[in-house]
Amino acid sequence: MEERIVCITTREQYDEISNRINELIRIATQKGMLEPNADNEYIREISRLAKLCAEYEDNYLNILPLKAKNPLIKAIEDYFYAKNMKRKEAAAALGLNESVFSQIMNGKRKISTKLAKKLYTDLHINADLILQNM
């Protein structure tokens, strides 16, 4: 019978548990047991082991959290991506210098009230999204 690990304290244990998670995912996928909202032994064990790995990562590994993208910037990107427009074309469509547009998209410059109005009227971005994220 397999020993039930309750805490990861070494890199070797971490790697072993990570491999075990991947194996459980492979087996559960083959058996069709990873359906949304499913609750079974595979999902519970994968979840338990993943939490142990996350605790180990938080305590021992120097992993920086992912930086969440501003939802407004994401909405602007999505709009121009759907139109298949490059940044230069997007900047021109908004009446902005390409450099200024790039700074806005990279979070280095704030969105002006004038631009906020243009995002609302021209791109039809939700006003609440604009107000909450400018």
Q: Using alpha carbons only, what angle is made at residue 79 by residues 94 and 75, rounded to the nearest 5 degrees? A: 95
Residues of the domain holding 80: 71-133
* pLDDT tens readout for residues 25-81: 999 999 988 887 788 999 999 999 999 999 998 888 877 777 778 999 999 999 999
Take residue 74 and report the two structure tokens written for it: 């994401």
* pLDDT tens readout for residues 1-34: 356 888 899 999 999 999 999 999 999 999 988 8
Residue 2 lies in a domain: no
Residue 65 lies in a domain: no
Cα distance between residue 75 and residue 127, in whole Å: 12
What's residue 1's pLDDT? Answer: 35
126 and 78 fall within a common domain: yes
Q: What is the mean pLDDT of residues 107-112?
A: 91
Predicted TM-score of the model (pTM) = 0.52
Residue 110 lies in a domain: yes
Residue 75 belongs to a domain with what CATH number?
Answer: 1.10.260.40
